[in-house]
Amino acid sequence: MGKIKKTLLSLIAAVIAVAGAWAMHSNKHASQNNSNQTEYYYHYLGNTSNLADYQTQGNWESVESPEDPGCSGTQLPCVVQSTQASLQTFVSSITQVSDVTNNTVAEKDIQ
Could you report the average pLDDT of every consecutive run of 10 residues in the chain (111 residues)?
Answer: 72 71 59 70 94 97 90 92 95 96 92 76
DSSP state of 72: -
Q: What is the pLDDT of residue 70?
A: 85
Residues in the chain, how many? 111
Spell out where 11-63 has E strands.
40-44, 60-63
The closest alpha carbon to 66, from 35, 108, 28, belongs to: 108
Q: What is the pLDDT of residue 10?
A: 74
Neighbours of 78 (CB within 10 A): 23
Q: What is the pLDDT of residue 110?
A: 83
The model's pTM is: 0.66
Q: How far is CA 42 from the centre of its chain?
A: 14
Q: What is the pLDDT of residue 1?
A: 64
Rounded distance between C-alpha atoms, residue 59 and residue 100, angstroms? 13
> In this structure, are residues 85 and 59 in contact, taking their beta carbons and an 8 Å threshold?
no
> In this structure, are residues 111 and 77 in contact, taking their beta carbons and an 8 Å threshold?
no
Q: What is the pLDDT of residue 90?
A: 96
